[in-house]
Amino acid sequence: MRVRGRRPGAGAGAVLLVGAVCAGLPAAPVQAAPPGGPDGGRRAAEREKPCTAGTGPYQRQVEAFLKRLPDGRQSTEDCVAIRRFQRAHQLERQDGYAGLETYRQVQIEQTGGKPNADGACPERSYKVVCVDQKRQLLWVQTGSRTDFGPVPMRTGRYGQETRPGMHRVVRRVRDDRSQIYDNAPMPYAQYFDRGQAIHGRHDSLYDGGGSAGCVNLKLKDARELWERLRLGDHVYVWGRKPGT
């Protein structure tokens, strides 16, 4: 393999031509990394695109978590800090707005990997799916060990609340559809109380007041939970969803 180096005096942004490794492939230009490494590139991108999102409904809580002045008013510096947090966690919205999705991620981070620190979800020798309606978080634990999550979820809206108590998974359907609500898709459905199930949602968890009683998860989280659970596994639901 032959490499043509930079011309003397070429800057950090110069293009290097690297010979093909596989026979028959032409050489391709490779752009040198931006000055200052990844952080330098990130800061440059942020300078190129001003952060202009307004004050969000969870502004004060997010500011406090990010160790910004928790005054509940968006500033350019607040916006940039929130946007950086959103990007780091690959959230749907990455514009610096302190909305529900961002606040939910803050709540996950605040657990410090110990979502059951208050002991609200029963610790048993067997697997328990913990459905915390107050924080809208779900995780799986065996005893005091967290096996999965916490991950964000969405439970039932006012008048269609998810029923509390200790339940068991009684039916599993990988590609189910609702027989009540317009044939709506219910991927990775795991039923625990009559028609109420934990299942994935193709759309956002944050685009409405709540579900019709099921426990909605992001599709990737529902898929992983499907792989972890079996018929007869326990599901414990407690607390009240905000707004119900």
Angle, CA 54 vertex, CA 48 and CA 58 arms, to 5°? 120
Kindly state the greatest CA–CA separation across the chain: 74
Nearest to 149 by CA among 190, 121, 187, 189: 121
Determine which one of 51, 121, 214, 234 is catalytic.
214
Query: Phi and psi for 103 in degrees, rounded to 5?
Result: -65, -40
Q: How far apart are CA 191 and CA 215, in angstroms?
A: 10
Q: Active site includes 199?
A: yes
Q: Which of 121, 130, 199, 234 is catalytic?
A: 199
Angstrom CA distances, 84 to 48, 197, 211, 218, 238, stand at 14, 35, 30, 22, 33
The sign of the CA dihedral 7, 12, 17, 21 is: positive
What is the C-alpha to C-alpha distance for residues 5 and 28, in angstroms, rounded to an integer? Answer: 14
Interacting residues of 221 by C-beta distance below 8 A, sequence separation 6+: 138, 149, 151, 200
214 is catalytic: yes
Q: Which amino acids are annotated catalytic? A: 199, 214
